[in-house]
Chains A and B, each alone.
Chain A
Amino acid sequence: MRALLAGFCGEFKRILGDEGARTTMIAAVLIYAVFYPQPYLKEAVRKVPVVVVDQDHSTASRELIRRIDASDGAAVIAAAQDLSTARSHILAGRAFAIIVIPTDFERDILAGRPSPIAAYGDAGYFLVYRAAVGAISTAARSAGAEIAIHRLSIQQGVDSATARAIVDPMPVTIVPLFNPQGGYATYVVPTAFVLILQQTLLMGIGILGPARPQTAGRQTLGGLATGMLARVLAFVTLYIPFAVLYLVIMPHLYHLPRLGAVGDLLMVMALFLFAVSCLGLTLAALMPSGESVILMLVVLGLPLFFLSGVSWPSESMPKLLSMLAQCIPAIPAMNATVRIGQMGASLADVSPELRTLAIDAGAYALAALICQSVRDTIEP
């Protein structure tokens, strides 16, 4: 017990005494909390700028444009004379969609003929395209429904309730849950924060390096295990406040929704940080230097984010790849924290992820012990 406490305090002294470790495990964590979310904070996939080419200049065409402008997905920023002028807005990146309302738009409506319009969307941005084109289609559909009701009641003498029932017999309401505003920050930041915790902790442990036996001569297995446990506990203790900062305080400051219980989040975090610390000690024992640990990890952030299943469904990845990804503690942890934090799940709802984290923690604890004792025998 005394050895454990001494190792625990010793590790804290090492972290604070080593400039590289201190920068990575404290300063970088604080910088990332503010710096990383910057591009996403204002982002909402709403009010995508669009340009209109109104060749009809009629009451009906102006009414349709007003409807599109009033929608959630699109905002009309300019009117262009022709399609090529409108295209130049797209090429300059000022707008992401074009609506063309042809001449005779109103005449065809009044004559009871279908009156088509055209939409061109910059399909280079998935969510932007979906929002703009969706807003245009919805506006055209709802304007069309009113026209159809009008025709039925005027021309065929049907009463308006029946007309409505013929035109729209089974209305559909679509309700976005958990992120009703469709905010980009809500989508990206909480998940990426978990990954940043893992990456900085692993790099920090890599910089601190493998445990050096304090006493000369061979260490007993028990001594080795105690020393490692002390280090792991020190890392977890250091990072729990960062987890609170990343998952509770920063989301609050950024006005991101946070539903789940803080206690549940911390349970997941404690298990996650334990697993990451053991993985860190394994890497420190395996890799030749702290620099090589950094080189390996710094390039892995983006691929790991895409493997998480949050931005791209894990159902559509190769089975083997999504299974291997479970060996990285951040992958189950990202899924568990986003479901608890942003969606309001309970610990029971994330029990598969908790089980995976526990297996990772156990496996890496064992791996760290083995790798460290092998390293000690090779270079005492």
Chain B
Amino acid sequence: MKVSRQGSVRPGLSLVLRRELRWMRRRLAIPIMTLGFPLLVFAVLAAVFNTGLPTHLPVAVLDQDRTTLSRQIIQMIDASSDVAVAERVDDLAGGRRLMLEGRVYAVVMIPANLERDVTTGRRPTTVVFYNNEFLTIGSLVSRALGDALGTAEAGIAMAARLKQGESPPIALLEITPIPVQINPLFNPTMNYIYFLLVALIPTVLQIFICVTSAYSVSLERRSTLGLVILSHLGGGLAPAIIGKLLPYTLAFLITLGVSDAVLFGALGTPFRGDWRLLLLADVLFILAYQMIGALFALIGRDTVQALGFAGILTAPSFGFIGVSFPSMAMGSFPQVWGDLLPAGWYMQIRIEQTLKGLAPVYSLGHLAALATLLAVVTLLTVLRLLSLRRARLATPEQAQEVVT
């Protein structure tokens, strides 16, 4: 019907574009999935991490000594901004129970006779038990407790040296014969929230791009003549594909732009790279996932299956693209799989050109890999479209429909 209504207009890109925009307005799911919902998800993620690195994580103390020294040690632990002494327990079983109930992340055991043994040089051992099942939290808590107890010990060692007759400045130097000067690279503020959010935005967005594209193209396929109408309106395969996908490319670019503006503007994430290179990578990344989604729609039996393919590819990719842990530490299957995901290459460029602030030349190889993946998926999509057309023309009654 649409063909006849538009019969007088010359087929071309603008016709397909206009049809797509009308179409997007009619289907509520599409504007929600391209603009509103992704921004809402990013807002939730930003809220989860908005307080910065966790502080005052609850720990329990088992003080079997109850002397001035043990109370001083507990005070030093509590003074650390990373942890807070939330509970006192009478035995280790009580501490273990609090940990199993999820109410504390560590138990510090100060042994009986600590003060007496320290002064008589018997070297009593203080023990920290921490919950390493929650790896990130465990790492924060164990380091904070190790530092606090280390400071307490340094104070005791200092006092012992003064008693030996050393002068205070010499004693201070003697306490750490090999000081380590630590320089964090690429992350001078040591704020991991920046890294997490910079990585999470595209990881979530690739799911949105791929499933929305799969959904939209598979609806085209569901109506018997959808694809035929598209290619007639476009007057060829290329304008039909471009006109179908371009509105979504722009919509997702806006979504990515808005979230990055908030991330690098309002949230103060350092941006130290080349924005033109990043923008180019943004476009290639969005196009790649649109093409993958389109390909799934053309392969899948129905919309549900197309969405299933898109989900299986994109939803678990956070681990495969080596954001939380470098891919070099993985086995060979996840490494190869990760290399096949456009998001992995895009993520490298994104981190290099924002937080790390590397010279653009370091990112060109990754950009080439991203462009290659896009070219391969585009080629596969075009081949699939051609084979679908051949199959349709081979079926007489459908060929008839096209003619009329």
Contacts and interface: CB of A to CB of B under 8 A. Distances in A.
Contacts of A172: 125-128, 146, 149-150, 153
A123 B152 contact: no
A16 to B, nearest CB: 16
A250 to B, nearest CB: 15
Nearest to B310: A298
Interface in A281-328: 290-292, 294-296, 298-303, 306-307, 310-313, 315-318, 321
B181 A119 contact: yes
Nearest to B161: A166
A126 B192 contact: yes
Interface string A338-370: 110011111001101000000000000000000
Contacts of A188: 319, 324
A161 B121 contact: yes
Contact of B178 (A24, A115, A307, A311): A115
A32 B319 CA distance: 13
A222 interface: no
Interface stretch (B51-59, B259-267, B383-391, B393-401): B51-59
A106 to B, nearest CB: 11
Given A127-B325, A321-B47, A176 B100 contact: no
B334 A38 contact: yes
B231 interface: no
B331 A168 contact: no
A214 interface: no
Interface stretch (B137-145, B238-246, B271-279): B137-145
Contacts of B195: 124, 126
Contacts of B322: 39
A164 B58 contact: no
Given A123-B187, A174-B142, A343-B99, A148 B177 contact: yes
B102 interface: yes
A166 B132 contact: no
Contacts of A116: 178-181
B87 to A, nearest CB: 14
Which of A20, A94, A177, A306 has the most chain B CB atoms closer than 10 A to its own CB? A177
Contact of A91 (B176, B183, B208, B362): B362
Contacts of B183: 118-121
Nearest to A187: B135
B204 A43 contact: no
Interface stretch (B281-289, B300-308, B374-382): B300-308
Contacts of B37: 296, 299
A36 interface: yes
B164 A295 contact: no
Given A295-B307, A342-B133, A129 B184 contact: yes
Contacts, number: 333
Q: Report the contact-size class of chain B (Cβ under 8 Å from the partner).
A: 35 or more
B330 A162 contact: no
A158 interface: yes
Nearest to A122: B185
Interface in A144-178: 144, 147-148, 151-152, 156, 158, 161-162, 164-178
B173 A321 contact: no
Interface stretch (B10-18, B250-258, B350-358): B350-358
A317 B48 contact: yes
A17 interface: no
A186 B131 CA distance: 12
Contacts of A173: 125-128
Contact of A165 (B51, B54, B100, B121): B121
Contacts of B81: none
A290 B54 contact: no
Nearest to A290: B304
Contacts of A169: 118, 121, 123, 153, 156-157, 160
A170 B312 contact: no
A122 B331 contact: no
A93 B348 CA distance: 11
A124 B208 CA distance: 26
A349 B132 contact: no
B236 interface: no
A187 B133 contact: yes
Contacts of A182: 132, 135
Nearest to B33: A295
Nearest to B170: A112
Nearest to B132: A176
Contacts of A179: 132-133, 135, 138
B23 interface: no
Given A170-B126, A345-B100, A127 B135 contact: yes
Given A141-B176, A147-B178, A130 B143 contact: yes
Contacts of B145: 174
B125 A124 contact: no
A290 B308 CA distance: 12
14 contacts: A35-B316, A38-B334, A43-B329, A93-B328, A117-B180, A119-B183, A125-B325, A143-B178, A172-B153, A177-B132, A299-B37, A299-B41, A316-B54, A342-B133
Q: Which 3 A-B pairs have the closest CB atoms?
A: A165-B121, A123-B187, A123-B184
Interface of A: 19-20, 23-24, 28, 31-32, 35-36, 38-45, 64, 90-91, 93-94, 96, 109, 113-130, 133-134, 136-137, 140-141, 143-144, 147-148, 151-152, 156, 158, 161-162, 164-180, 182, 184, 186-188, 207, 290-292, 294-296, 298-303, 306-307, 310-313, 315-318, 321, 335, 338-339, 342-346, 349-350, 352
